[in-house]
Amino acid sequence: MPSRTSPAMLEALAFVAPGAPLREGLDRILQAEMGALIVVGDGPDVLNICSGGFLLDAAFSPQRLSELAKMDGAIILAPDATRIARANVHLVPNPNVPTSETGTRHRTAERVARSIDVTVVSVSEDQQVIAVYVGDEKHPLQPIPILLNRANQALQTLERYRNRLDDVSANLSALEVEDLVTVRDVVTVLQRTEMVRRIADELASDIVELGTDGRLVRLQLDELMGGVDDERRQVVRDYFHEESSWHLDEAMTALADLGTEDLLDLRTVSSMLHLPGTLDLDASVQPRGYRLLSRIPRLPDSIIEAIVERFGSLQKIMRATIDDLDDVGGVGETRARSIKDGLARLAESSILDRYS
């Protein structure tokens, strides 16, 4: 899978996305077949590398930006890109900062971004390309039709992966009810949820870059991702072995940080659960019950926590009588009946789905 776009770059891309005033100004520069070098930020670090030019301090407008781009120097914007601070500035970054660029404008842009915590936008006059620099990252902006095509392909891939996740999740539910769960069944669901999340992360980057043109894609992404993060968290809560230095948050973070090759290795994924004594994928394991209890409507997390703490495993919870459940603090007879009926319906539907 491609490397993920950093939060800093995503924030920068939002500034230059379609619908943003800065993007309109950049498009005007491209249409006029001009080049430009724009720094989003006018703090002391930026001013220290500025030479010449003139102070403007005027409200930003796309028209002003394109007019100022007719001059050779860089344009300095306020951090929120709502004002144009300076224009026709000569930037003098540290020449010892490494750069892989060849053109003068792009070399300057990369050096400034690598040495100062600002967003730098370079518009190529010859290649008609807009490139965004943040830190060590460079992101050339893609034409909207290409981005939309890529986003639609990603949505199709995500839908296939989500369908597969739903299948393995339903299978896990049936196995939990029948007390036949193995480590392999658990880590397969975790692997699939992480794959779905990573495809969604890549798609989210395209949506940011699409700006107002990505609203329909965003709606489809939100629909496809509904419940995935909750499913992932509940599976980990059900099976991971907590230690003094290994808690739920550590397990979730370690799972998210797995490399692509490690994610494809079920034994590596299972190691995130810190299961005691074995990495045998065919070893039997028992869920605590968080996952199925969370599927019962209007059952608060505090009650779920209390039930799991009282009984310890899903099988014991399912065998508990209404009176047993009523004895748990905060449950009450009405809620106990609801829990008992809810688990019975989940058990029936899970088994029917598995064998249908």
Tell me: the pLDDT tens digits for 161-208? 999 999 999 999 999 999 999 999 999 999 999 999 999 999 999 999
Examine the domain organization and report whether 111 and 196 are in the same domain. Answer: no
Q: Let me know if residue 209 belongs to a domain.
A: yes
* Structural domain harbouring 46: 7-141
Q: Let me know if residue 1 belongs to a domain.
A: no
Q: Let me know if residue 310 belongs to a domain.
A: yes
Query: pLDDT digits over 99-121, tens only?
Result: 998 888 999 999 999 999 999 99
Paired strand residues for 284: 182
Examine the domain organization and report whether 115 and 185 are in the same domain. Answer: no
The Cα–Cα gap between 269 and 279 comes to 10
Q: Where residue 72 falls among pLDDT bands split at 50, 70, 90? A: confident
Averaged over 321-330, what is the pLDDT? Answer: 93
CATH classification at residue 267: 1.20.1260.110
Examine the domain organization and report whether 274 and 295 are in the same domain. Answer: no
At position 91, the amino acid (one-letter code) is: L
Query: pLDDT digits over 46-68, tens only?
Result: 999 999 999 999 999 999 999 99
Examine the domain organization and report whether 135 and 16 are in the same domain. Answer: yes
Q: How many domains does the chain have?
A: 3
Q: Let me know if residue 193 belongs to a domain.
A: yes
CATH classification at residue 303: 1.10.150.20
Examine the domain organization and report whether 146 and 111 are in the same domain. Answer: no
* Structural contact between residues 87 and 76, judged by C-beta atoms closer than 8 angstroms: yes
Examine the domain organization and report whether 113 and 197 are in the same domain. Answer: no
The distance between the two most distant Cα atoms of the chain, rounded to a whole number of Å, is 82
Q: Let me know if residue 277 belongs to a domain.
A: yes
Examine the domain organization and report whether 233 and 134 are in the same domain. Answer: no
The Cα–Cα gap between 129 and 12 comes to 16
Give the CA angle between residues 298, 300, 302 to the nearest 5°: 165
Q: Let me know if residue 2 belongs to a domain.
A: no
Examine the domain organization and report whether 270 and 147 are in the same domain. Answer: yes
